Chains A and B, each alone.
Chain A
Amino acid sequence: EDQVTQSPEALRLQEGESSSLNCSYTVSGLRGLFWYRQDPGKGPEFLFTLYSAGEEKEKERLKATLTKKESFLHITAPKPEDSATYLCAVQMNTGFQKLVFGTGTRLLVSP
């Protein structure tokens, strides 16, 4: 069964304390992996797409990386405004119209 698991469920950081979020997946064939940010009471907002192992994408304090079995979202020197839930989703080779989402990591960055 296609599955996406994110860890940790919740993470509390001090401002400036770098860390990483993990997204591991077991799918029959990966077409793409997506990272989204979701603020309370809002819809998910697209951050990155990764297609192949070794690929990296960066945006401000965020960097996403991909291996054959997992992806990491690295947060460097986070600020309180980075507090949100970060969602990972995978798109399979078959049925590319479908995204399978993980349950997310709730990040809280304290000043």
Chain B
Amino acid sequence: EAQVTQNPRYLITVTGKKLTVTCSQNMNHEYMSWYRQDPGLGLRQIYYSMNVEVTDKGDVPEGYKVSRKEKRNFPLILESPSPNQTSLYFCASSPYRESYEQYFGPGTRLTVT
């Protein structure tokens, strides 16, 4: 089954404790992206990657890191999480073409206390 998977689905952590949210897709898509979704603000892009070893900042990259060492994986790293990073996070992937019909993962709900 073609899908985007994320782990963990739920995470409660404390301020400053480094964490990684994994994202993997089995569709051989070139493009991958991370979003956060907050009430009243909608989905905002954090980082995106056009292909292996090619990443760039989205609208809200502060406090996050990403890497793209393999085509299928695009982990999101929070080096020192803070309470304002409490949010619902989505990973998405898309084949590289002019229009980006993105396929989203199930989401990771992160709470930073």
Contacts and interface: CB of A to CB of B under 8 A. Distances in A.
Contact of B100 (A43, A45, A91): A91
Contact of B43 (A44, A45, A49): A44
Interface residues of B, number: 27
B48 interface: yes
The 3 closest A-B pairs by CB, nearest first: A43-B104, A101-B43, A103-B42
26 contacts: A31-B98, A31-B99, A32-B98, A34-B101, A34-B102, A41-B107, A42-B106, A43-B106, A43-B107, A44-B102, A46-B101, A49-B99, A51-B99, A87-B43, A91-B100, A96-B100, A97-B33, A97-B48, A97-B50, A97-B56, A98-B45, A98-B59, A99-B43, A101-B35, A101-B44, A103-B41
Of the listed residues A36, A42, A43, A99, the one surrounded by the most CB atoms of chain B closer than 10 A to its CB is: A43
B4 A43 contact: yes
Contacts of B92: 43
Contacts of A78: none
A99 B45 contact: yes
Nearest to B39: A103
A10 B101 CA distance: 25
A66 B102 CA distance: 20
B31 to A, nearest CB: 7
Interface of A: 4, 31-32, 34, 36, 41-46, 49, 51, 87, 89, 91, 96-99, 101-104
A99 B48 CA distance: 11
A36 B102 CA distance: 10
Of the listed residues A96, A99, A102, A103, the one surrounded by the most CB atoms of chain B closer than 10 A to its CB is: A99
Nearest to B92: A43
Contacts of B105: 43
